[in-house]
Amino acid sequence: MSTTPQSTSTPRKILVLGATSGIAEATCRIWASQGASLFLVARNAEKLAAVAADLKTRGASYVDTAVADLDDTDQHPALLAHAVNSLTGMDIAYLAHGVLGDQLEAERDFNTAAQILHTNFMAPISLLTWLANFCVQRHAGTLAVLSSVAGERGRKSNYVYGSSKAGLSAFLDGLRNRIDREGVTVLTIKPGPTKTAMTAGMPRSEKFADVDSVAESIVSAIDKRRDILYVPFQWQPIMFIIRNIPERIFKKLNL
């Protein structure tokens, strides 16, 4: 898949929320090679500085950063306004903020479950509400959001994480229905298991999708103004099958 630099005369202005996640970092490497202007937000200052320095060496025309806990929704309006001012606009907002969480602990403790749901669902809704309204005012922009194939159907192995992503995907469906007519693209990205630091300790992780290939697919989908991306592509028919297994059978499966 080609990652040829864009032919636009000015660099694209891209806000990346959760910039130190494995998928986000791989995607940013492609954008940097295209000369994009990037504003990166993440919680870990040391990792964020390392990512920013790497992207500058790879050709990004501008890189600025903010260290922030994106779970703190009260700080979102000021953070996002600062990011947009730094970039002097925004063409793409790329939201990669999320956690897998501990399913077993979440089964035992509501507060653990609530934290997973807050990080993966409530915090993104806060960010997306501000960003959507910003883009609608300008009748332009792309909101690209990492959801997951895990949100397609609840399974015993990860239903707390899966339910947070199911809610996020449903929110994005409705948001797209509202603002697509205003000239704003909403892309729901549904990756299957991908080889990153977050999944390194998971069983059979060596068979997960290559993160650079996933990033290339994401960049291509954004460029094509796609609505929904399953990546790798085979997850679309796989999840179609899983969604349509009768519940009387599905409830007995170990998935």
Report, as residue numbers or ranges, the catalytic residues. 161
Q: What gap in Å lies between CA 18 and CA 69, rounded to an integer?
A: 9
Q: What gap in Å lies between CA 95 and CA 124, rounded to an integer?
A: 8
Edge-first strand order for the sheet with 228-231 is 62-67, 37-42, 13-17, 92-95, 142-146, 185-191, 228-231
Nearest to 238 by CA among 150, 156, 158, 163: 150
- 3 state SS of 156: coil
Contact 90, 13 (CB under 8 A): yes
